[in-house]
């Protein structure tokens, strides 16, 4: 494990390879799973404030699900996630012309309508964060729907932490990421 500031990072983040391959998986992570995308508490307020800017980028089914269920849902453990359509795909997801699921929030961001790129849990995937008293654990999440991303990353030689440089910097800052990269390049024994 790698320890940086108040984070404990699994060795798999450095050792495993990953590059999303949307042509192969079609964005299955926006459909599969028990709930929508996990949301951090500060993202609830962001969604409330930014939803009018994001709404034009969503499907009618997504808008209807959000109108009926709210901008997000609270699960049985008190955690929050994005609303889903019929307990399936994320209400913020939409299919492009190739049948690939994309994030409507990110589409609004790319169009310059909002400064909110997407939930950090989506941006950081395949890293999942578990919060403990005083620190956060960053673990590589293995999911069979991401097998094409693993093989594509291995083919390109891109480790998880390099693929996720932008979201890791978004979450923890550039100095934290630089420390992670140094630690991976020169591990202490």
- β-partners of residue 132 are 135
Residue with tokens 């994005």: 82
Tell me the three state secondary structure of residue 58. Answer: coil
In the three-class reduction of DSSP (H, G, I as helix; E, B as strand; rest coil), residue 141 is classed as coil
Rounded-to-integer distance, Cα 187 and Cα 164, Å: 20
pLDDT at 131: 86
Would you give per-residue pLDDT tens digits along the chain (189 residues)?
888 889 989 889 888 888 877 666 666 666 666 678 889 999 999 999 999 999 999 999 999 999 999 999 998 888 899 999 888 888 999 888 888 888 899 999 999 999 999 999 888 888 888 888 889 888 888 767 667 776 777 798 889 899 899 999 999 999 999 999 998 888 765
- Amino acid 107: pLDDT: 93
- Answer yes or no: are the C-beta atoms of 36 and 69 closer than 8 Å: no
Q: How far apart are the first and last CA of the chain?
A: 11
Q: Which pLDDT score is estimated for 151?
A: 78
The tokens for 181 are: 């990269």
Q: Which of 114, 121, 122, 107 is nearest to 51 (CA)?
A: 114
Helix-, strand-, coil-residue percentages of the chain, each rounded to 5: 45, 20, 35
* Distance in angstroms (rounded) separating the CA atoms of residues 139 and 155: 22
Helix (H) or strand (E) holding 24: helix 22-25
Q: Is 114 helix (H, G, I), strand (E, B) or coil?
A: coil
* Residue 14: predicted pLDDT: 87
């Amino acid at each position: 494990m790698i320890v940086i500031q108040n984070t404990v990072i699994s060795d798999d983040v450095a050792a495993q390879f990953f590059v999303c391959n949307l042509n192969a998986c079609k964005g299955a992570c926006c459909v599969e799973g028990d709930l929508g995308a996990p949301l951090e508490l500060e993202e609830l307020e962001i969604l409330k404030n930014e939803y009018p800017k994001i709404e034009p980028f969503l499907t009618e089914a997504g808008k209807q699900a959000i109108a009926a269920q709210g901008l997000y849902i609270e699960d049985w453990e008190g955690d929050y996630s994005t609303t889903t359509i019929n307990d399936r795909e994320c209400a913020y997801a939409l299919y492009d012309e190739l049948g690939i699921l994309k994030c409507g929030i990110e589409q609004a961001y790319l169009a310059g309508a909002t400064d909110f790129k997407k939930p950090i849990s989506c941006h950081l995937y395949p890293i999942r964060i578990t919060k403990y008293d005083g620190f956060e654990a960053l673990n590589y999440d293995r999911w069979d729907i991401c097998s094409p991303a693993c093989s594509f990353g291995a083919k390109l030689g891109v480790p998880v932490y390099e693929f996720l440089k932008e979201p890791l910097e978004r979450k923890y800052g550039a100095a934290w990421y630089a420390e992670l990269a140094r630690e991976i390049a020169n591990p202490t024994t």
